[in-house]
Amino acid sequence: MPESTTPRTPIRPKERFLIFGRPTIEEPEIAEVVDSLRKCWLGTGPKVARLERDFAAYKGVPHAVAVHSCTAALQLSILAAGLHPGDEVITTPLTFCATVNAILHAGAQPVLADVDRRTMNISPEAIERAITPRTRAILPVHFAGRACDMDAIMDIARRRKLVVIEDCAHAIETTYKGRKAGTFGDFGCFSFYATKNMTTGEGGMVLTQNEAQAARIKMLALHGMSKDAWKRFSDEGYKHYSVVELGYKYNMMDIQAAVGIHQLPRVERWLERRAEIWARYDRAFADLPAELPAPTEANTRHGLHLYTLLIDEERAPVSRDGFLDGMTANGIGVGVHYMSVPEHPYYQQRFGWKPGDWPVAMALGRRTVSLPLSAGLSDEDVSDVIAAVRAVLAR
Ligand SMILES: *Cc1c(COP(=O)(O)O)cnc(C)c1O
C-alpha cells in the first residue's frame, strides 16, 4: 500500500470539485416551478396528474401514482399487496438501505438472497433457496440499471404464488426482452431523488396494471382519505372527505412534479449521453487493476445509472477506500453502491445478520466504487475523471 493518495497537483482543484450524481436542471423546469409558485398551487394538483399520465405513457402501463419517494412507493406497494406482519419479502443484500427499510416499515420481514457475481443482481437460485412457507413477495432491484433475470423471477413467482415488487430506482430506461422495467411485477417503484436518472428533488412513482391497486396507493399516500381529496379546495365548492383507512403523508407536490414533467422527455437523450461516457470509461480503464461492468445481457437495455469499478486489491496500488480518498483528493466525487445491507449495525443487531452469510454481496460491496456518470458531464469532465482514475490506479 502507498504511503499517501494525496496528489501534489490535483486533477481538479477544490473550486472545481466534480460532484457525484449532479442533476441536470434546465430552464423549462425552472420556469415551471416559478409558474407553480406564482399560481400558489404548491401541493398535489394538475402537475402531479400530468407527471403521472406522462410517466404511465412512457412506460406503457395504465396506472402511475406519484409519491414523495421510492421508499414510500415500496412501502405502499407492500401494503397494497396485502402483506401481513411476519410475511416474508425476499430481496437483495446489495441495495440501498431504503429497500429493506420499506419492507420493515410495511410491517413485513426482509429475507436476503445473495446476488450473482457477474450481474450484481439477485440470483434466482438464491431466491428459491430463501423461500419458506411464510414467503409472500419477491422484491428485486435492477442494480445500476441492469435488468434482473425477470423470466426466472416471474417463473418462481408464478409457481409459488408470490407478489413481485420491482425496485426500479436505477431503472427508468431499463428493458428486458423488449419489456420495460417496472411492468413485470404487480408493482414497479421508481425514484426521482436528486442523483437518479431523472429528478424531482425528492420523488417517486408506483406503476401498476390494476386500477383498484392504483386507487388504493393514492389513498394510502394521502392520509387514507377517500379518492380525489386533493380536489377539496378547488373552485367547485367545499367537498367533505372521508378517512377510510390509516394512511400516510406520502403525496408528491406540484412543485416537485413541475421539475419532473420537463425531465422525463429528456431521459432517452440523457441515456445516449451516458452511453457515450460509459464507452469512454470502458476504453480508458481496460488495462487497469480493476474489473469493469460486465457487458450488457443480450436482449436487454441497461439503464446506465451507475458505472462501477471493482478494485483488484491484490494488484492495485491502493485499497478500495484508498481509491475513494485518492479520487476525492483529485477533486472527483465518487460513490459506493453499496456496502451490503448486513454490514450495517442496525440490521446486525435486529436480525443477527452477518455480512459473510451473503458472501458475494459482501465481497462486491467491499471492492466497488461508482464514478460520475451524469448526462450533464462535459467531455472535459469525463477526461478529468479518466485522468484521476489512472493517476490513482495506474502506478
Ligand atoms: C435511491 C434508492 C431508493 C430510494 O429512493 P428514494 O426516492 O430516495 O426513497 C431505493 N432503492 C434503491 C436501489 C435506490 O438506489
Sheet holding 307-311, edge to edge: 290-291, 307-311, 368-371
Of ligand 1's listed atoms, the one at least distance from the Cα of 71 is 9
Rounded distance between C-alpha atoms, residue 129 and residue 199, angstroms: 37
Whether 196 is a known active-site residue: answer: yes
Q: Give the binding-site residues of ligand 1, using a 6 Å CB cut-off.
A: 69-71, 95-96, 98-99, 141, 167, 169-170, 191, 193, 204
pLDDT the model gives residue 230: 56
Confidence at residue 8, expressed as pLDDT on a 0 to 100 scale: 80
Q: What is the pLDDT of residue 1?
A: 47
Distance from Cα 72 to the centre of ligand 1, integer Å: 10
* Three-class SS state of 84: coil
Q: What is the pLDDT of residues 230-249, one digit of tens each?
A: 566 566 777 788 999 999 99
Question: From the CA of 97, how far away is ligand 1's center (Å)?
Answer: 8
Using the atom order of ligand 1, give the atom closest to the CA of residue 69. Answer: 7
Q: Helix %, strand %, coil % for the chain, to 5?
A: 40, 15, 40
Collect the ranges in the chain with pLDDT lower than 70. 1-5, 227-235
Structural domains of the chain, with CATH: 27-265 (3.40.640.10), 267-393 (3.90.1150.10)
Residue-level pLDDT at 232? 60
Given 47, 59, 180, 196, which residue is catalytic? 196
> Nearest Cα to 165, choosing from 180, 185, 181?
185
| Cα 236 to the center of its chain, rounded Å | 39
Closest residue by Cα to residue 68 from 159, 185, 170, 199: 199
Q: b/e for 179-204, b at 16 or more Cβ within 10 A? A: ebbbbbbbbbbbbbbebbbbbbbbbb
Measuring CA to CA, which residue among 72, 61, 66 is closest to residue 211? 61
Which conformational region is residue 295 in: left (phi greater than 0), alpha (psi within -120 to 50 degrees), or beta?
Answer: beta
Condensed to tens digits (0 to 9), the pLDDT of residues 74-129 reads 999 999 999 999 999 999 999 999 999 999 999 999 999 999 999 999 999 999 99
